[in-house]
Structure 1
């Protein structure tokens, strides 16, 4: 609550709050709260939006041709950073697109002794299980998007003797031969409605993919995490 007379554009003043407590003016409706929250969201995006962040080197070169000296200095900085990023990516191992199916005999080479600078995502599955097919499709999509992550599949009972179908699909995330995360079944996601975005979010949280998501997809609350402040 703002100090009397100093309320910001979307804040209430102490006087307004007193009037509401006494019933002189009505409480804010959900629509009014939504409008304020939406306004705050738009304002925040406008303040943090960077029009150059995702531009290619070619696009930055075009901007440089039309820039004045100050703009040129800024754009040159972005261009140099983008080139350095491209150089760094060119040195990373490339595995995708596609899922590689491995046997138990290949596990040590492909997973345990895999490159230290690469994340390995392994899907344990069995044929004929709908949830396994779904997860395989989602990981296949991600293997195209994140080619520097190694995506593998392995028959569950080959990897772990007598591994129960009730725990499938199971997704394991490895780095430097160690398990960083495991996702058993689809409970961590959205059940049989799970899509590639859901999986990307969870893999991004553990660093297995370089996701640019900043919030969980398919949140039940679609109104920008509405809450009264």
Structure 2
């Protein structure tokens, strides 16, 4: 009976100093690349990460002394793995504190009904940015490409696009007002921008659209960014 209860008990993150150490050791072992890491190095890392492995009765292991090169190798591996572990913990904390749905692409709305449903039924905390476009209008394709890039940096924002002819009010979206951008939250319109390209350079990029929206305070804070240590890792890889 006790064994059954133990199997059904959910796995939870460990708390307290000992729990953190346990999670760190587990993360380190799981993050090892067993395909690319030499057997000798893997064994050293395993011994350092799991002190129980040092309690066997193998006399060779008991009497063996670690060389300076091996110590430096382990120390460097520890530092890199610790940075990855820290970033993972920060990401998990960020995910727990984030509210509302997340999106990873621009949604194509194919009718006025889909447009209204998106505005009225979406989560009340979700910011909705809708691009009304026409393939024949200059600037519409470039703005669509910009939104495809911004969705990566602002996953809490629901970016949408709809052809003017599909809105059911094509006469209101003539060539001289496209591309247009509408911004909503909780069913309320926060922004209504016609002929957006007039506010941008002839050739514009995602950062230009981002700055334009930020001028009106329409974008939230950017989502979780990598730690500064990420840059250090990249530099180390470049050096090697």
* TM-score, length-scaled by structure 2: 0.50
- Is the helix fraction higher in 1 or 2? 2
1:177 aligned to which of 161, 177, 187 = 187
| 1:154 shift after superposition | 0.8
* C-alpha distance in 2 between matches for 1:189 and 1:153: 19
Instruction: Report SS of the residue matched to 2:183.
Output: strand
Equivalent position of 1:207 in the other structure: 218
Is residue 196 of structure 2 the alignment partner of residue 188 of structure 1? no
Any idea what the Cα deviations from partners look like across 1:68-116, whole Å, max 9, x if unmatched?
xxxxxxxxxxx99875433223x43012233333311211211233210
Q: Which runs of 5+ in 1 are unaligned?
A: 1-56, 63-78, 213-229
| 1:202 shift after superposition | 2.4
Structure number, greater radius of gyration:
2
**TM-align CA RMSD:** 2.8
2:158 aligned to which of 132, 150, 154 = 150
Question: 118-127 vs 100-109, which deviates more?
Answer: 100-109
User: What pairs up with 1:105-124 in 2 under 5 angstroms?
Assistant: 105-124=113-132
Q: Do 2:179 and 2:194's aligned partners in 1 also have CA atoms closer than 8 Å?
A: yes
1:86 aligned to which of 80, 95, 104 = 95
Instruction: Report SS of the residue matched to 2:149.
Output: helix
Instruction: Report SS of the residue matched to 1:193.
Output: coil
Q: Which runs of 5+ in 2 are unaligned?
A: 1-80, 224-240
| 1:58 shift after superposition | 5.3
User: What pairs up with 1:120-139 in 2 under 5 angstroms?
Assistant: 120-139=128-147
Q: Do 2:106 and 2:158's aligned partners in 1 also have CA atoms closer than 8 Å?
A: no
* C-alpha distance in 1 between matches for 2:122 and 2:91: 29
| 1:165 shift after superposition | 0.9
User: What pairs up with 1:94-109 in 2 under 5 angstroms?
Assistant: 94-109=102-117
